[in-house]
Chains A and B, each alone.
Chain A
Amino acid sequence: MKTELTIKESFKGLGRNKTRTFLMMLGIIIGITTLTIIVSAILGAKSDVMGKVAKFGVDQISINAGAGEIIGVPQDTPVTTLKLEDAEAILSEVKNIKSMAPSLNTRALPIKSSNGNTEANIQASTPQWTEVWDTRAVAGEFITDEDLSTMARVAVIGQTVAKELFGSEDPVGKQIRIRELPFTVKGVLQTKGTSPSGQDMDNRIIIPLTTGQKRLLNRDHIGTIKVVLRDPSKMAQTVEEIRHLLRERHNLQTGVADDFTFITPKQVTDVATQVSTALSLFLIVISAISLFVGGIVVGNIMLISVGERKREIGLRRALGARKKDILAQFLFESIAVTVSGGLLGVILGLAGGKILTLFTKLSMVISWEPFVLAFLFSGLVGVLAGISPAKRAASLDPVEALRS
C-alpha cells in the first residue's frame, strides 16, 4: 500500500460526493475567512501604530502637566503644575536635549474672519514649535522671539482654518478673531493631514505662548513640553534626568507621585498594542469558536459518511485493504476537506479584508501569516474531527460491512 495512492483515493472519494464535501468545507471556510481578516487587521493595526510612533517622532518626549495617562496633546489643561521655567530648566540642564517647545493648548475655540467663522484648536507656543513639531509655515512667516516678548496678537493658521475662513484668498496679513480677540494672520502652516487618532492636524492655530497665557487664556502655567533628543538611544536615561529635575523643582518628597507625565514613543506603542491585543483576543476567540463548530460539522458528516459507505469499506477490506489503510483514507478525507477549506478561507479572507478597507478606516496588511495559521489550524481541525469517524470505519467487521 502506497501513501500517495491512499491520498488519491481520499480525493477521489471527496470528488465523488461534491455536495457533501462542500457542506463539510463550509464551516472551515467561514472560520478561516474570519481568522484571516482578523490577522490582516491586526497586522494593519500594528503598522498603524508604527506609523503613529513615526509621526510622534522616535527621538521625542512629551512632558504633560499632571499625573495620568493621556495620549496626545492635552487640551486646556486645568492642572497648573508645569511652568515655563520648568521647560527652560530642562533645556539648559539636561544635556541630551536638542530643542524644546513648551505649549498651552485649548480645545476648539470659535474663530471668525470677515468672510466666515469656524472652530479650531489653539496651541500657544514658542518659535521652536516649528522645529519640534516638524511643521513649517509655507506662506508668510512663523512666530518669532519678538512676537513672544511683545505678546503680539499674531497667528499662524493651519490649511483647514485658512480654507474655512478665507477660501482661495491669501490669508496672510488679514484679521481673524479668536474668542472675539483680534489677531493678524502671520503665516499658513504646511499640510499635515489626519493624525492616527483621526484628528485633522490642519485645523489648528499657533499663537505666541505669552499672548496665549496673558491675553487669551489668562493662565501662567503651560500644558505640555515637547523635547527633541540629540541621542534617541539614551531615551530612558534622559526621561530619568528630566524626572529628577522636575521633582526637585516641584519639591516632591520621596513617596509622592509625579505631578507630570511622560509620553514616549514606547508608551504610544504600548497603549496602542494593548488596545489591539484586547480586540484581537476577542476576535480570535470568535474565529476559534467558528472553527470549533466547523470541526464538529466535519466530524458529524464524516460519521454519517462512514455509515453510508459501509459497503464500500467492506469491499475495500475484501480486496485487501488493512485497517490502517481505511483509517488513513478517511483521515485524509477529513484533513483534505479542512485544509482546502482553510486555503479557500484565506483567499476569501484576504479578498474580504481588501473590500473592508474600501468601506472602513481599517488597515489590512496582506502577508504570509494567515496562510501558515490557516494551514496549521485547519489541519488540526481535520485530524481532530476525522480521527473518530476514521477509527470507526477501520474497525468495521468486513463481513458485516459487506452485508449492509
Chain B
Amino acid sequence: MIELRDIAKTYKKNGEVEVRVLQGVSLDIKKGEFVAIMAPSGMGKTTLMNILGCLDRPTSGTYRLEGVEVEKLNDDQLSLVRNEKIGFVFQTFNLLPRASALENVELPMIYSPRSGDLRKKATEALNAVGLSDRIHYKPSELSGGQQQRVAIARALVNSPSIILADEPTGNLDSASSTEIMAIFEGLHREDRTLILVTHEADIAAHAKRLIQMKDGKVVQDKKIG
C-alpha cells in the first residue's frame, strides 16, 4: 500500500545551512498494519508524516501510494489524494475553534467530489467515537480527549485508506490518552491502516510494528505486540 524508496528531505535554513531531515528512508507498509514510528523530537518524524500525508514532497526518492507515484501528481491531485485516502490526526487537534463538533467533522466532506448527506455522515462518525451527545458543542466546551475524538471522527468521515496520527496523545492526560489509544486499537481491529508517530514508548507499544528512527534514517523495524 505504501512504498517509500530512498526518501530524502533537505531544508535550507536561513538560506545558508542545509539541514538534511530525512536521509534515505525506505519503507513498505501493507494494508491493515498498525505502525508506530518512534524518534526523538526534531528527528524528522513530522516531516516523514507530512510526506506520507502528501502535504509535503520529498527532495529525492519515490513514494508510491496504492500504486500511484505521488511525485507525479499536481497540487490539485494531491489535494484529492489527501481528501480521499488520508485521515490526519494532529497533536493539537486542529479543530476550527468557533465551529461545532458536527461542523468540524463535516469539513473533509465539503472538499470531497463524492456527494452525500454531510450531516448524517458526520453524526455517524461522531457516534462511532462516542460523542453522539456532544455534536453541537464547540471545541472550547469539550475536554482535550473529547476534542481529539472529534478530530478522529473528522479523520474517519471520508473513509480514508490510511490514518496518520502525529503525536495524538501529546497534549492529553493519561486517562484521555488511554481512551484515544483504545479507539485506535478498535480501528485496527476494523482492518484500517494506522500510522502513529510518537516519542513515547508506552504509546508506541499499542502498535503491532515499531519503526525506530534516528538522524533521519530508519535504525530499527520490528514486529511487536
Contacts and interface: CB of A to CB of B under 8 A. Distances in A.
Interface of A: 1-2, 5-6, 9, 12, 16-17, 311-312, 314-325, 398-399, 402
B94 A320 contact: no
Given A398-B55, A399-B55, A321 B111 contact: yes
Contacts of A320: 79-80, 82-84, 108, 111-112, 158
B75 interface: yes
Contacts of A321: 79, 83, 110-111
Contacts of A2: 110, 115
**A interface, over-half SS:** helix
Nearest to A315: B94
Contact of A316 (B76, B80, B90, B107): B107
B111 A325 contact: yes
Nearest to B164: A318
B63 interface: no
Given A12-B99, A311-B94, A319 B55 contact: no
26 contacts: A1-B111, A2-B115, A5-B110, A9-B110, A12-B99, A16-B99, A315-B107, A316-B107, A317-B82, A318-B53, A318-B55, A318-B88, A318-B94, A320-B83, A320-B108, A320-B158, A321-B79, A321-B111, A322-B76, A322-B80, A322-B111, A323-B79, A398-B56, A399-B50, A399-B55, A402-B94
Contacts of A398: 55-56
Contacts of A319: 82-83, 88, 107-108, 111, 154
Contact of A312 (B75, B96, B110): B96
B55 A315 contact: no
A319 B151 CA distance: 11
Interface string B66-79: 00000000011001
B136 interface: no
B103 interface: yes
Contacts of B84: 320
Contacts of B98: 16-17
A306 B205 CA distance: 40
A402 B93 CA distance: 11
Nearest to A15: B98
A12 B103 contact: yes
A316 B112 CA distance: 12
B113 interface: yes
A316 B111 contact: yes
Interface in B39-94: 50, 53, 55-56, 75-76, 79-80, 82-84, 88, 90, 94
Contacts of B50: 399
10 closest A-B pairs by beta carbon, nearest first, are: A320-B83, A16-B98, A320-B111, A322-B79, A319-B108, A5-B110, A315-B94, A321-B111, A320-B82, A322-B76
Contacts of B115: 2
Nearest to B115: A2
A5 B83 CA distance: 16
B89 to A, nearest CB: 11
Contacts of B111: 1, 316, 319-322, 325
Interface string B111-153: 1110100000000000000000000000000000000000000
A12 B75 CA distance: 26
A309 to B, nearest CB: 9
A108 to B, nearest CB: 71
A79 to B, nearest CB: 77
B55 A317 contact: yes
A319 B75 CA distance: 13
B110 to A, nearest CB: 5
B110 A1 contact: yes
Given A16-B96, A321-B110, A398-B56, 18 more contacts: A1-B112, A1-B113, A311-B94, A312-B96, A317-B55, A318-B94, A319-B82, A319-B108, A319-B154, A320-B111, A321-B79, A322-B75, A322-B76, A323-B75, A325-B79, A325-B111, A398-B55, A402-B94
